[in-house]
Amino acid sequence: MRAAPGRKHDGEEEPARARLVAALVGNPNAGKTTIFNALTGMRQKVGNYPGVTVDKRVGQVRTEGGAAIDLIDLPGTYSLVTLSLDEQVVSDVLHGALAKERRPEALIAVVDASNLARNLFLVSQLLDLRLPMVVALNMVDVAEAHGRPVDASALESALGCPVVAVVGHRRERVRGLGERLVGAPVPPAIVHPVAEPMASEERRLARAIADVDGLDEVQSRIVARRLLTAEPGRDLARLRDGHRAEIEAARARLESTGLDPAQEDIEARYRWIDEVVARAVREPEAHAPGRRTTTERIDAILMHRVLGLLVFVGIMTGLFACVFWVAKPMQDGVKDGAAWLGAQLAARMSDGPIKALVVDGVFAGVGAVLVFVPQIALLFLCLAALEDSGYLARAAFLMDKLLSRVGLHGKSFIPLLSSFACAIPGILAARTIDGRRDRLATILVAPFMSCSARLPVYALLVPACLPGSSALTQALVLFGLYALGILAAVVTSLVLKGRLARGDRSAFILELPSYKRPQALQVLFQVWTNTRAFVTRAGTTIFALSVVLWALLYYPRLPSEEAARFHDDRARSAAQIEHSVAGRLGHALEPAVRPLGYDWKMGVGLVSAFAAREVFVSTLGITYSVGAASDDTRDLAKAMRQERRPDGTHVWTPLVAVSLMIWFVLAMQCMSTMAVVRRETGGWRWPLAQLLFMNGSAYVVCLAIYQIGRRWLGG
């Protein structure tokens, strides 16, 4: 695992290594993904780096000369000295420090020509790696429009490596990158001059290293620089075990002079960058003062104190409307299609456990997964378009103040908004938050947002709690349920604020990239990969649980002599449920949920809701013998109203419905969410804490409401 810098990663040399392994590296927003897609087409695979939740994308490039390149798309990074998880992976891959990962043999550095100086900082660190490199000079058109065109050939001679000017989204000359990469030379390394006493400490350390490792002078200076400037906690420990005493002594001496080696190094690199920029940018900045760029003109509106907020609310409302109203007919179509197919199959099979498994287990399970897909895909579509345009960074900027007050981050906004559709994409979207503390807090509160799977439950229960009320009243109650979820999230994050690890105190350092027109192909490609990831990650859990749930409801079978007593199919299946494992679980749960006002049937429903919350409705449909298939819940609502306890009182009082609705707002009842939280946080600790906290507080709140309400209302 721990590799020294410059270590050769040729341990497992293959006899015929025909393929070149190259890495695509660049700043966030430099257009790296566009170039990756243009180079590799659809020939790419998404995997994972071992032990971390950073996606690994590898694509194949075949050059016109016939060479084959395996291109790794590394996450966007500003620096090789690490701050975030993504950057850690980039640094580890490039230094060959990840077990089982081959160290890249060549680099393509993507550089945003319209933001040359800042992008060249990473390039200065890449040059230290001593690997063959080609620079993809992207967005040359934008730089030109800004009045600061970059001269690729001047940049090429300044950097000493091939520079290919490209416009990523037009695929112009992108293919040329592959050709230039094959046989590209190792660009000359640069020792960026620093002041005394750092320079002499560096030379001394370099000599010690050179003697042992047999490095040349420049290489050993680069290594020494890295050792002097590395983060003590994170980086230095990974670097090397040898020379530890010399390194620590040198760092201590420098520290005692009050000098920060990291700062000296970074400033030295920027001095070099200023020279390179002066050579490569044809028109100096002074040429176009006062001329506003397109981005500045757009920001004058979108970032305006009043207008900006209005547009923000408008965009987010539009996104919401898209995810709920546009998706609705598609979801209905999926549901009907699955039901129809199931019915077709059922008609062709004989009764028995196999048929029941296929129809009620497998088909219901597939349906339960697929019904979310249109909505999730639309959500990903909106987000990908917003991200590609550059607006998401603005959303974080606009919302940071409000969110940081309750202990979250501006970048928490999108994950939380997504969670109104489904907590799973929301939790995945939290990966964009750099600070571990903020990311964790966001993941922990995301499930409080009322997801779309709660909506069918609310739709059943709101009329049940307010029989005969107007549509407006019901809408207000529905709104109240959403608001309650948000309130719970705010309270929770305030509770978490002081309690989560303080070491990872968050900062807000965010680039606001230039606006771009979203690229349809790129957006659709992202929708496709993300939706596929959702189906495989969440879908497998939902599907598996649906099958388990089916078995719990199906077994053990009612003895045939007892089943024969029922002439009505529906009454028989209701009796079967009571007899099943799930029914027994419901009865076993009854003493625990009785103080909240629930009976055993609701208990069964709550158990079943662990597959997906909306399954609660269909399970109640079965237990109330109105059938599960019907989408129309009016029969069910009627059956619920007529249900009475043995003592003749109504089971479904408004208070019970309120208590149950609040349970659904507050409780963690989604196994797939827990599975995703486990993946994202790297263990069961947080999902279990979440389960205990959410269900515990749901229990306490519902208990208080039901018990106080009962005394107060006398019911």
Partner 1 sequence: MAAVPSTVALESNAAPLSRPRAHLVDASHSTLDSLAVGARGRVRAVGGEPGLRRRLLEMGMCRGVTVEVVRRAPFGDPIELRVRGYALSLRAEQAALVVVSVEG
Residue from 169, 179, 180 nearest 33 by CA: 169
| Residues whose CB falls within 8 Å of the CB of residue 301, separated by 6 or more in sequence, listed in order | 307, 308, 311
Contact string (CB under 8 A) for partner 1, positions 312-351, x = contact = ----------------------------------------
- CB nearer to partner 1: pick between 313 and 321: 313
Strands 44-48 and 20-26: unpaired
Burial class (CB in 10 A: 0-12, 13-18, 19+), 705: middle
Stretch of residues binding partner 1 (CB under 8 A), selected from 236-244, 300-308, 489-497, 528-536: 300-308
Smallest separation, CB 270 to partner 1 (Å):
5
Specify which residues 72 forms β-bridges with: 23, 58
Q: How far is CA 297 from CA 101, 293, 303, 430, 460, in A?
A: 45, 6, 10, 30, 48
**Residue 192 Cα to chain centre, angstroms:** 38
Write out the two tokens for 481.
């349920």
Q: How far is CA 712 from CA 466, 596, 709, in A?
A: 18, 15, 5
Whose structure tokens read 């530890």?
A: 244
- CB nearer to partner 1: pick between 259 and 322: 259
Which region, left, alpha or beta, applies to residue 165 given φ > 0 means left and ψ of -120 to 50 means alpha? Answer: beta
Specify which residues 164 forms β-bridges with: 136
Stretch of residues binding partner 1 (CB under 8 A), selected from 75-83, 352-360, 448-456, 592-600: 75-83
Smallest separation, CB 619 to partner 1 (Å):
45
| Residues whose CB falls within 8 Å of the CB of residue 584, separated by 6 or more in sequence, listed in order | none
Q: Report helix, strand or coil for 62.
A: strand
592-651 positions binding partner 1, by CB under 8 A: none
Contact string (CB under 8 A) for partner 1, positions 402-431, x = contact = x-x-----x---------------------
- CB nearer to partner 1: pick between 393 and 656: 393
**Cα separation, 373 vs 528, whole angstroms:** 11
- CB nearer to partner 1: pick between 81 and 133: 81
Smallest separation, CB 436 to partner 1 (Å):
12
- CB nearer to partner 1: pick between 305 and 567: 305
**How many chain residues bind partner 1 (CB under 8 A)?**
46
- CB nearer to partner 1: pick between 86 and 299: 299
Contact string (CB under 8 A) for partner 1, positions 241-280, x = contact = --------------xx-xxx-xx--xx--x----------
Cβ atoms of 369 and 538 within 8 Å: the answer is: yes
Q: What is the largest CA-CA distance in the chain?
A: 96
Among 78, 420, 664, 706, binds partner 1 (CB under 8 A): 78
Under rule CB under 8 A, residue 295 binds partner 1? yes
**Residue 403 Cα to chain centre, angstroms:** 18
Smallest separation, CB 273 to partner 1 (Å):
9
| Residues whose CB falls within 8 Å of the CB of residue 305, separated by 6 or more in sequence, listed in order | none
140-169 positions binding partner 1, by CB under 8 A: 148
- CB nearer to partner 1: pick between 40 and 114: 114
Smallest separation, CB 95 to partner 1 (Å):
18
506-545 positions binding partner 1, by CB under 8 A: 507-513
Under rule CB under 8 A, residue 1 binds partner 1? no
| End-to-end CA gap in the chain | 66
Among 60, 79, 474, 707, binds partner 1 (CB under 8 A): 79
| Contacting residues toward partner 1, per CB under 8 A | 78-79, 81, 83, 114-118, 121, 148, 231-232, 255-256, 258-260, 262-263, 266-267, 270, 285, 295, 299, 303, 305-306, 308-309, 393, 397-398, 400-402, 404, 410, 507-513
